[in-house]
């Protein structure tokens, strides 16, 4: 038979061992939008322009020549466009090229993180200023 004092001591001792063992560590929290770093945007994304039409795929990775910048490819079927991108806080900028030399479109958006689901929303402006901007949503494929 254990006395109440012994039971309290044993419970306290077990709780202390459990805490010291690291078993109470929780998974890392999702970063806030302001805490995102460019390397956290590496990977595959799904792009929707103007909320309609077929989706595009966007692959982002590290830029080999500019530390902290991103490089990748925007694809849809046989279309493949090289892109470069930067992240400054929540502000996301992506430049799309159709020939590998000139900028064909500039994407300006903001990153949102809600419950570890990341998205980027904004507007895509084609190099021809006569065309109206297109709204876009870029969704992370991490949770898909």
C-alpha 90/C-alpha 31 separation (Å) is: 12
Give how many domains the chain has, as a whole number.
1
C-alpha 77/C-alpha 54 separation (Å) is: 10
Dump pLDDT digits (tens) for 51-60: 778 899 999 9
Domain membership of residue 16 (yes or no) is: no
Domain membership of residue 14 (yes or no) is: no
Dump pLDDT digits (tens) for 75-109: 999 999 999 999 998 999 999 999 999 999 999 99
Burial classification of residue 69, based on how many CB atoms lie within 10 Å of its CB (0-12 exposed, 13-18 middle, 19 or more buried): middle
Helical ranges in the chain per DSSP H: 4-20
Q: 55-59 contacts: CB < 8 A, separation 24 or more?
A: 58/83, 58/138
Q: What is the pTM of this model?
A: 0.75
What is the sign of the dihedral through the CA atoms of 78, 110, 118 and 59?
Answer: positive
Domain membership of residue 88 (yes or no) is: yes
Domain membership of residue 28 (yes or no) is: no
Domain extent, residue 112, equals: 33-140
């Amino acid at each position: 038979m254990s006395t109440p004092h012994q039971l309290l001591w044993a419970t306290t001792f077990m709780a202390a061992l459990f805490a010291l063992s690291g078993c109470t560590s929780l998974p890392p929290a999702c970063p806030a939008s302001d805490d995102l770093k460019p390397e956290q945007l590496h990977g595959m994304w799904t792009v929707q322009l103007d909320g309609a039409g077929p989706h595009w795929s966007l692959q982002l990775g590290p830029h080999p020549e500019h530390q902290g910048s991103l490089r990748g490819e925007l694809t849809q079927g046989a279309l493949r466009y090289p892109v470069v991108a930067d992240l400054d806080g929540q502000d996301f900028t992506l430049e799309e090229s159709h020939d590998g030399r000139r900028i064909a479109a500039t994407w300006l958006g903001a990153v949102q993180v809600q419950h570890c689901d990341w998205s980027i929303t904004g507007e895509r402006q084609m190099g021809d200023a006569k065309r109206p901007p297109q709204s876009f949503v870029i969704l992370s494929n991490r949770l898909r």
